[in-house]
Homo-oligomer: A and B are copies of this chain.
Amino acid sequence: MSEYRAPLKDMRFVLEELIGLEQIARLPQCEEASPDVVAAILEEGGKFAEEVLAPLNRVGDVHGAVWQDGEVKTAPGWKEAYTAFREAGWTALARSPEFGGQGLPKVVATAVMELWKGSNLAFSLCPMLTQGAIEALMLCGSPEQKKMYLPKMVSGEWTGTMNLTEPQAGSDLSAVRTRAEPVGDGTYKLYGQKIFITYGEHDLAENIVHLVLARLPGAPEGVKGISLFVVPKFLVNADGSLGARNDVRCVSIEHKLGIHASPTCVLSFGDHGGAVGTLVGEPNRGLEYMFIMMNEARFAVGLEGLALSERAYQKALSYAKERIQGFEVGVKSGPRVPIIRHPDVRRMLMLMKSQTEAMRALAYTVGAAFDLAHHHPDESVRQRSRGFVELMTPVVKGWCTENSVTIASLGVQVHGGMGFIEETGAAQHYRDARITPIYEGTTAIQSNDLIGRKIARNGGVIARGLIEEMRLAAEKLRAQPGEDFGVLARRLGAGIDALEKGVAYILETYGSNPKAAHAVSVPLLELFGIVCGGWQLGLSALVAAKRLAEGGGDEAFYRAKIGTARFYADHVLARAPALGMTVTEGAAGVLALDEEMF
Complex: A26 Cα to B257 Cα, angstroms: 49
**Interface check A515, CB cutoff 8 A:** yes
Complex: A567 Cα to B520 Cα, angstroms: 12
A164-179 CB mask vs B (1 if < 8 Å, else 0) is 0100101110110000
This protein's copies in its complex: 2
Nearest residue, chain B, Cβ from A592? B563
**Shortest distance between the CB of A499 and any CB in chain B (Å):** 15
Q: Are B591 and A255 in contact (CB under 8 A)?
A: no
Complex: A526 Cα to B589 Cα, angstroms: 22
**Interface check A481, CB cutoff 8 A:** no
Most buried by B among A416, A587, A595: A416
Most buried by B among A317, A329, A422, A435: A329
**Interface check A163, CB cutoff 8 A:** no
**Interface check A10, CB cutoff 8 A:** no
**Interface check A267, CB cutoff 8 A:** no
**Interface check A439, CB cutoff 8 A:** yes
Q: Are A434 and B430 in contact (CB under 8 A)?
A: yes
Within 8 A of B (CB), among A310-347: 317, 321, 324-327, 329-330, 336, 340-347
Q: Are A567 and B595 in contact (CB under 8 A)?
A: no
Nearest residue, chain B, Cβ from A175? B336
Nearest residue, chain B, Cβ from A443? B413
Q: Are B566 and A570 in contact (CB under 8 A)?
A: no
**Shortest distance between the CB of A597 and any CB in chain B (Å):** 4
Complex: A246 Cα to B413 Cα, angstroms: 35
**Interface check A208, CB cutoff 8 A:** no
A416-429 CB mask vs B (1 if < 8 Å, else 0) is 11111111000100
Within 8 A of B (CB), among A506-552: 514-516, 518-523
**Interface check A254, CB cutoff 8 A:** yes
Q: Which residues of B contact A593 (CB under 8 A)?
A: 346, 350, 559-560, 563-564
Nearest residue, chain B, Cβ from A572? B582
Q: Are B521 and A344 in contact (CB under 8 A)?
A: yes
Interface segment among A39-47, A279-287, A573-581: the answer is: A573-581
Q: Are B560 and A597 in contact (CB under 8 A)?
A: yes
**Shortest distance between the CB of A210 and any CB in chain B (Å):** 18
Q: Are A590 and B346 in contact (CB under 8 A)?
A: yes
**Interface check A145, CB cutoff 8 A:** no
Q: Which residues of B contact A238 (CB under 8 A)?
A: none
Nearest residue, chain B, Cβ from A575? B578
The size of the chain A interface, using a CB distance under 8 A, is: 105
Nearest residue, chain B, Cβ from A338? B595
Q: Which residues of B contact A556 (CB under 8 A)?
A: 594, 596-597
Q: Which residues of B contact A589 (CB under 8 A)?
A: 350, 563, 566-571
**Interface check A412, CB cutoff 8 A:** yes
Nearest residue, chain B, Cβ from A568? B589
Contact of A409 among B434, B519, B563 (CB under 8 A): B434
Complex: A172 Cα to B329 Cα, angstroms: 13
Complex: A574 Cα to B581 Cα, angstroms: 7
**Interface check A88, CB cutoff 8 A:** no
Q: Are A417 and B196 in contact (CB under 8 A)?
A: yes
Given contacts A257-B430, A413-B438, A589-B567, contact A341 B419 (CB under 8 A): no
Q: Are A165 and B569 in contact (CB under 8 A)?
A: no
Q: Which residues of B contact A518 (CB under 8 A)?
A: 329, 342-344
Q: Are A444 and B570 in contact (CB under 8 A)?
A: no
Complex: A568 Cα to B330 Cα, angstroms: 37
Complex: A133 Cα to B437 Cα, angstroms: 42
Nearest residue, chain B, Cβ from A351? B590
Q: Which residues of B contact A420 (CB under 8 A)?
A: 254, 256-258, 434-435, 438
Q: Are B344 and A598 in contact (CB under 8 A)?
A: no
**Interface check A442, CB cutoff 8 A:** yes
**Interface check A155, CB cutoff 8 A:** no
Complex: A591 Cα to B343 Cα, angstroms: 7
Within 8 A of B (CB), among A6-46: none
**Interface check A431, CB cutoff 8 A:** yes
Complex: A435 Cα to B521 Cα, angstroms: 31
Q: Which residues of B contact A256 (CB under 8 A)?
A: 420-422
**Interface check A193, CB cutoff 8 A:** no
Can you list 8 A-B contacts (CB < 8 A)?
A254-B420, A341-B595, A342-B518, A343-B515, A344-B443, A347-B520, A409-B409, A416-B438
- In the complex, besides A344-B448, A346-B590, 20 extra interface pairs with C-beta distance below 8 angstroms are A170-B325, A172-B325, A172-B326, A175-B325, A257-B422, A257-B427, A321-B595, A329-B518, A341-B595, A342-B518, A344-B522, A345-B444, A346-B593, A409-B434, A412-B434, A427-B434, A570-B581, A570-B582, A571-B582, A574-B578
**A-B interface, 8 closest residue pairs, ranked by CB to CB distance from nearest:** A563-B592, A567-B589, A344-B444, A343-B519, A330-B514, A172-B326, A343-B518, A257-B427
